[in-house]
Amino acid sequence: MADIYRALGDPTRRKIVTMLKENNRTQKELVETFDISQPAVKKHVNILLEEGIVTQHSNGKYRVYSLNRSTLQDLYTHMLAFIGDLLDDQLTDLKNYVEKGERRDDQS
């Protein structure tokens, strides 16, 4: 499973993903958007590639980057389940806390 936290934990990578949501981009187009060096942009893109969020293909002399929507969908589904489990645990803890308080009140 891709590490969504690593992939999207940085604002530059989030901006790259947002740009790719709108349209495929060449490396040159990505670099022109940021006030950081080409190697720095490439480092961010490589992390997105490693995590499977982005794919690349060559078009002549250009590298073109695309969003891997199926991986994003899988990560989204996984995150929803994870958050749901967290909330369920918190609600269970709250329920148990309230029930303990009610039992104490009944015994008074």
Q: What is the CATH number of the domain that holds 62?
A: 1.10.10.10
Could you tell me the pLDDT band of residue 78, with boundaries at 50, 70 and 90? confident
Helix (H, G, I), strand (E, B) or coil at 23: coil
* Domain membership flag for residue 44: yes
Task: Decide if 55 is inside a domain.
Answer: yes
> CA distances (Å), 33 to each of 23, 103, 105, in order?
14, 61, 62
pTM passes above 0.85: no
Number of domains in the chain: 1
- The tens digit of pLDDT for each residue in 85-106 reads 887 777 787 777 787 876 666 6
Q: Report pLDDT for 18.
A: 96
Residue 73 domain flag: no
Would residue 52 count as lying in a domain?
Answer: yes
C-alpha span between 59 and 16 (Å, rounded):
19
CB 73 within 8 A of CB 26: no
Give residue-wise pLDDT tens across range 4-56: 888 889 999 999 999 999 999 999 999 999 999 999 999 999 999 999 999 99
Q: Where are the alpha helices (DSSP H) in 23-68?
A: 27-33, 38-50
